[in-house]
Structure 1
């Protein structure tokens, strides 16, 4: 078992592999994938592929397979969460960010007057190799982009080496290939979880460094503060991330909602009180985006 940790453009990266061969190429592969993500949906003002789509102001634009994958994941997350995670909150995020140039968004102008979003994601047209985003809608794919990239990195490393792989990008954790006999150890949200395959995602409202604003699409404002952080397990990291972020948006009713979906989760309130669903054991796949993958959280540090 080999492990590497580093920071890439503010993203904390952790890669664990079961074989030495994968450890030699893991950092190079993950760094390249994060660089490609930045070119596609980066924070450079007007310099990403998504910025070109915004500049088209409703005209269909031919896009790369990578951007198509990111948009498809964001739209699937919106459908899964009934719009709680909506990629068209970009204008609201721009307004809430710390400067008028919006460090969270790869957009090309700042003269925006955002309004609440209601099912704005349904106005985005992702076709066969093309994307249409009507003006003045601004897409922000950050909510699910790391999850997509973690999944891609884990699958690529496992396919190339045949080893078991865990890739964590920030709070998005993906696994692929053979699981170690004692499972994967995943430190998340102040505790350590044991994961027997599948994925985990943690979304938090507090922590070190600048916090990306969380927006309730129905108001265009941050949701009422109820949870400090939420961790969800699922077969796929995009599903896990969508549900963890949606729980912060839903607030007090999030635990019951996740339990109704059969989603194993750990919700930490602002006062430190912990609520769990599914007892963090026997985790099933959640959501139509996933095929069953034998996800199972085997232990918790608290």
Structure 2
């Protein structure tokens, strides 16, 4: 969902293909790269096994097959779900994990590469033309984080895509900093988190619509802690009979938002918070600048015509598209 990249003059960097995107690991001490990579892979495997919508054997899919019954959660799913519900509450439901049915109705019912392959082959002509309507609502989920138990009402689905990837980035840098040491950056498709001592001048991040298009960035910024995330309607999108659709859903309508912004980048205390705010900004459209400013969240909004608008303490762009 996001688009940021990072380079380091010294140290070491590793890029991995995962979840139809790129995982980037950067460490300030090159000797720590191998053990850091091992910790990253463990975190990614734990989060995928717990949260993947596309694995029939994932914990979330097994849980959803038991509607109306309390289910004990793994530590990973319990933590991700707690983060998703905290975000839903903090955003007033603008970022809501019960968007699963709406996401599927838009055509995102499998890995994005398979969605694109099907669209190019002319399949799923009904995608994107569902009537829509508000999603069930996060407050219908009965979650007891202390007991690690969840009851999901019948007919309610859960999509943790707006939280799990950012959670994995936060979890990975925290674990690597604690167990391996040194400064570390992890970016998952652009959902980016840092921990430990930052390099001189901070971690330099190139902000772009697509994290793979590093030469076409809007701006390079520097962070020393926390997270930075970008939500974009220009990636993870696909053609349908009703026009182009993308992965961001407005929970109030059950449809893609008709947003003024093609990209929203936000810096926050964690990658989970940054990603949630960036997603909310896309959903809010014209109301996003005031919403972000009220919460003192530095952000860069990119209009559909490429005009950039910094918000709060985000530095004025040196490069605009």
Per-residue deviation at 1:209? 7.2
Per-residue deviation at 1:117? 3.0
Q: Is the 8 A contact 1:86 1:120 kept in 2?
A: yes
Instruction: Tell me what 1:116 maps to.
Output: 133
- Aligned counterparts, 1:198-217, within 5 A: 198-207=226-235, 212-217=246-251
Instruction: Tell me what 1:10 maps to.
Output: 20
Q: Is the 8 A contact 2:35 2:180 kept in 1?
A: no
Instruction: Tell me what 1:289 maps to.
Output: none
The normalised TM-score by structure 2 is 0.80
- Aligned mate of 1:261, from 292, 295, 314: 295
Q: Is the 8 A contact 1:21 1:161 kept in 2?
A: no
Q: Is the 8 A contact 1:183 1:194 kept in 2?
A: yes
Instruction: Tell me what 2:127 maps to.
Output: none
Label 1:3 to 1:102 Cα distance change in 2 as closer, same or farther (>3 A): closer
- Superimposed CA distance per residue, residues 109-152 of structure 1 (whole angstroms, 9 cap, x where no aligned partner): xxxx8853367101111111211111101000000111110001
- Aligned counterparts, 1:71-150, within 5 A: 71-98=81-108, 101-103=109-111, 116-117=133-134, 120-127=137-144, 128-150=147-169
**SS of aligned partner of 1:138:** coil
Instruction: Tell me what 1:249 maps to.
Output: 283
- Aligned counterparts, 1:154-165, within 5 A: 154-165=173-184
**SS of aligned partner of 1:280:** coil
- Aligned mate of 2:274, from 225, 240, 244: 240
- State the superposition RMSD in angstroms: 2.0
Instruction: Tell me what 1:62 maps to.
Output: 72
Q: Is the 8 A contact 2:177 2:184 kept in 1?
A: yes
Per-residue deviation at 1:9? 2.8
In 2: Cα distance, 1:181 partner to 1:145 partner: 30
Q: Is the 8 A contact 1:146 1:169 kept in 2?
A: yes
Unaligned stretches of 5+ in structure 1?
105-112, 282-298
Unaligned stretches of 5+ in structure 2?
1-10, 113-129, 209-216, 239-244
- Superimposed CA distance per residue, residues 142-187 of structure 1 (whole angstroms, 9 cap, x where no aligned partner): 0011111000100111111220111111121111111112100112
Per-residue deviation at 1:43? 3.7
Label 1:257 to 1:10 Cα distance change in 2 as closer, same or farther (>3 A): same
Label 1:280 to 1:36 Cα distance change in 2 as closer, same or farther (>3 A): same
Per-residue deviation at 1:257? 1.2
Per-residue deviation at 1:279? 3.7
**SS of aligned partner of 2:48:** helix
In 1: Cα distance, 2:132 partner to 2:72 partner: 28
In 2: Cα distance, 1:301 partner to 1:170 partner: 23
Q: How many positions carry a matched residue from both structures? A: 275
